[in-house]
Structure 1
Amino acid sequence: MTEDRRPTLTTVAQRAQVSRQTVSNVLNTPEIVRPETRERVLRVIAELDYRPNVAARQLRTRRSSVLGLCVPPAADGISGQVLDRFLHALTEEAQRGGLRIMLFTAPDDEAEIREYENLRATTGVDGFVLANTHPRDPRTAWLAAHGVPFVSFGRPWDRGASSHPWVDIDGREGTRAATRHLLDAGHRRIAFLGWPEGSGVGDDRLAGFLAALDAAGLGPGGVVERCEDGVPEGEAAARRALVRDDVTALVCVSDSVALGAMTAVREADLADPARIVAISGFDDTPVAAAVGLTSVAQPVEDVAARAVALVRAQIHGDPVDTDRQVLIEPRLVVRATSPARH
């Protein structure tokens, strides 16, 4: 089709037998269009090879259709896989809604806030997605105070913090499910290998472990060893826990920590073949699947879909009072590392 015969919004609307506004809604806010209508319009768009005039739309709406996301510092290759999956899912979901993701980096929170200002001034970024939150987080307060549309993958961890839109995985429920699984398998002296105190996510996962023990009438029966996230750190924490001869199971705050624990458990098994120690991780990374590690799966694709919907609603001025905060339940994947106690 030649340049002056390109299909227009009107062409698509006529072929799909809908209004121009419906076509616009399919392109910009697809979640408000009935599924059968949305599919019909998308089919016509594909048939006609319709491409919206992005430059004209940006002039008309004063929107860039770009979301900014600061990439956190590189984690180890195991834990970083969760972020990789989230970034891919977020980019795919944004693209479906006519948005683009702009990645940038910053060494700390204050530098990230300066980047917010720069990007808003120089590229007209419409909003931001935060890939992580932490206690005393100044970024969410700055974005809220300046009226910038945003959503975070992670809850505000401070009491009385602003109730900004967020989507998160219920880490407490994840470790509670893992601990219940081990309790049902006959384990009674269970250790939790967690991150240092003060980590919002880590403390949330510890709370799930303690809640499961308390529900089983074993409130003070848990052992807690803390460490930084990483395979060597997990191995060292597991060795400290296994000094107690009665510990028969380990609930780990991440797959990285759990993989380190597996090394310590193998050494304990060699020293005492009769001692069988069960292990569970958190994140359900491909490495966990490869080594048969029981782990809690994070549905980051669902997180990405809800995050894009929340920030898009703010950009377009739609109500977001309902489900501004979304807590998604994870799923325990049981594998070979969590055998029953004989």
Structure 2
Amino acid sequence: MSKLPTVEDVALAAGVSRQTVSNVINSPAIVRESTRERVEQAIADLGYRPHMAARRLRTQRSSTIGIHLDPYAGGISGVVLDRFVHALTERAGERGMRIQLYAARTPTEEIAKMGELSDGGEIDAVVITGTFHGDPRTRWLAERGIPFVAFGRPWGDDDVEAPAHLWVDVDGAAGTRAATEHLLSLAGPRLAFLGWPSGSGTGDDRERGWVEAMAAADASGPRYVCEESVGQARALVGGILAAGPDIDGIVCVSDSLAIGAHLAATEAGRGDFPVVGFDNTPPAEALGISSVEQLPEQVAAGVLELLMGPSGSVIAPRRAEAGAAHVLVTPRLVVR
């Protein structure tokens, strides 16, 4: 294997000193244009790449934000996080920052990976996703003094007035409230909610929007529970439509459950049975199912605003102060 080119090789090829090469890489404005062009040509010809670890030692910054890459598990709704990571990468690049993806199967593994990247000076900050009650990652990051923002609220008693950390989230209750109000005006007052088992912060938040909208309309309807599975939702709703109470429509906690409900209604000869999902995924669009759009691009913008503000670098860890510690993105209902 051939030896990788060094800064000394570049200096020799360009006929300049090692310090001049370093200046071209780190402070090009102070180098005369003709000299800078000669050094840059030598760098290109040799295929030289600055040693990032050494550069980090000089600047004490990596200009990099770490984010966990969820393992592929199939399904439908994962597209939202994919869009978020894409948007975060794009917007971070516009601010002169890079995104470092890392994989981990459990919170414990993720903490170990964050520690490795932070100790090695490879990241300046972290974005975590999928927060939950008692999340050990947020406590670990806070104790280590690593700047971070969560896509997902802390799930404390009062995340707005007494936030545990900086966070950005989608207002799930606002989304299902809009979906419920839409179906109330379109179909009738007997609307069911198809949600996940209790205990999921995100699921409970979305259910709250249905409860509030139904109460405001003096309407009532049953709540059904299903795991995140198209097949299980299909079987459940099929049984409900065949023998259960007469309902006018279903508000679903996710597109996966909405697709299952839609397929069950179609099989029962009720293809026009109103169903609304959440996430506005391509499969829901293809089937013509109305759904709540999370707007992950706005989430990404909110994350970077909390991490960096108007500056060009990550803000040092700061206290999560009421009124300035979160961004709550209002989703939009896409009617089909």
What's the TM-score, normalizing by structure 2? 0.78
Q: Counterpart in 1 of 2:68? A: 70
SS in structure 1 opposite 2:250? strand
**Equivalent residue letter for 1:235:** R
Larger radius of gyration: 2
Q: Counterpart in 2 of 1:222? A: 221
Detail structure 1 runs of 4+ shifted over 6 Å in the superposition: 2-7, 52-57
What's the TM-score, normalizing by structure 1? 0.77
Identify unmatched segments of 5+ residues in structure 1: 12-51, 336-342
SS in structure 2 opposite 1:315? coil
Per-residue deviation, 1:264? 0.6
Q: Counterpart in 2 of 1:255? A: 255
Structure 1 residues 197-249: Cα deviation after superposition (integer angstroms, max 9, x where no partner): 1000001001111110000012xx22111111121122123234423241120
Q: 1:288 aligns with which of 284, 290, 308?
A: 284
Between 293-302 and 224-233, report the one with greater CA deviation: 224-233
Q: Counterpart in 2 of 1:173? A: 174
2:128 maps to 1:130: yes
Q: Distance in 2 between matches of 1:140 and 1:6?
A: 40
Q: Counterpart in 2 of 1:233? A: 232
| Equivalent pair of 1:248/1:276 in contact (CA under 8 Å) | no
Structure 1 residues 289-335: Cα deviation after superposition (integer angstroms, max 9, x where no partner): 22111000011001011112222358333977563211010000000
Per-residue deviation, 1:97? 1.2
SS in structure 2 opposite 1:134? coil
What is the root-mean-square deviation in Å for CA atoms of aligned residues? 2.8
Structure 1 residues 12-59: Cα deviation after superposition (integer angstroms, max 9, x where no partner): xxxxxxxxxxxxxxxxxxxxxxxxxxxxxxxxxxxxxxxx99888734
**Equivalent residue letter for 2:205:** D
Identify unmatched segments of 5+ residues in structure 2: 1-13, 15-19, 31-49
**Fraction of identical pairs, as percent:** 45
SS in structure 2 opposite 1:68? strand
| Equivalent pair of 1:178/1:296 in contact (CA under 8 Å) | yes
Between 164-173 and 282-291, report the one with greater CA deviation: 282-291
**Equivalent residue letter for 2:110:** E
| Equivalent pair of 1:89/1:304 in contact (CA under 8 Å) | yes
Which structure 2 residues correspond to residues 1-342 of structure 1 after superposition, within 5 A?
A: 10=29, 58-159=56-157, 163-218=164-219, 221-242=220-241, 243-269=243-269, 276-313=272-309, 315-317=314-316, 321=321, 323-335=324-336
Q: Distance in 2 between matches of 1:300 and 1:156?
A: 18
**Equivalent residue letter for 2:300:** A
Q: 1:80 to 1:318 in 2, by over 3 A?
A: closer
Aligned residues: 289
